[in-house]
Amino acid sequence: MVKNLRYEFQPNITEEQLWDFYVRNDICEVGYGKDVALLPLKHSPYIVAVFSEEKLVGIIRALFDGLSACIMEFCLECELQGEDLELNNGSVIEKDQYEIAGKMGKMLIAELEKLGNTFTTAYIVEGMEEGVYKSIGLKHNEGHLVYYKDARDPM
């Protein structure tokens, strides 16, 4: 499956391709149900996807306002990450044995820079994903805290 991968910026991803990818790789969006999980296809044009033939095997998407970008999703097919994954979840890129995630991330950042992006952020899983994010040029923003509101979490 590592050979003949196709990388696309602003790809045409079908609802079925994205949903199947989420289900196959135990990605949390499945828990929201299909209608909610597929909303990014309607609202996020800043996507790089990787396909093996017609099968979606990787995705990275960002929000972008013309100056700054935030990576909102970075997922890779579990079997393309490498062996002995701790979580075995496609939304946590523990390993990038074949450098597929690195290529996706670099492509997204390069395309956004062509559009004027000067600052990119991402929220990552500490102790697991630092390597892949460093490989695409991001670094730890020491001293900054992340605040969030999660509709699933009663305060």
Domains and their CATH numbers in the chain: 5-135 (3.40.630.30)
**pLDDT score of 47:** 98
**pLDDT score of 11:** 98
What's the predicted TM-score (pTM) here? 0.93
**pLDDT score of 71:** 98
**pLDDT score of 1:** 67
The string of pLDDT tens digits covering residues 91-120 is 999 999 999 999 999 999 999 999 999 999
- How many CA atoms, within 13 angstroms, populate the side-chain half-sphere of residue 14? 6
The one-letter code for the residue type at 147 is Y
Cα(85)–Cα(48) distance, integer angstroms = 24
**pLDDT score of 34:** 96
Buried residues in 58-69 as b, exposed as e (16+ CB within 10 A): bbbbbebeeeeb
Q: How many CB atoms lie within 10 A of CB 32?
A: 14
Distance of CA 105 to the CA centre of its chain: 8
The DSSP 8-state label assigned to residue 117 in this structure reads: -
Residues of the chain with pLDDT below 50 are none
Q: Identify the burial level of 117 via C-beta atoms within 10 angstroms of its C-beta, where 0-12 means exposed, 13-18 middle and 19 or more buried.
A: buried
Backbone angles phi, psi at 80, to 5 degrees: -95, 0
**pLDDT score of 149:** 86
In DSSP notation, 48-108 reads EEEEETTEEEEEEEEEE-SSEEEEEEEEE-GGGT-SS-SS--TTS----TTSHHHHHHHHH
| Tokens describing residue 20 | 């199947």
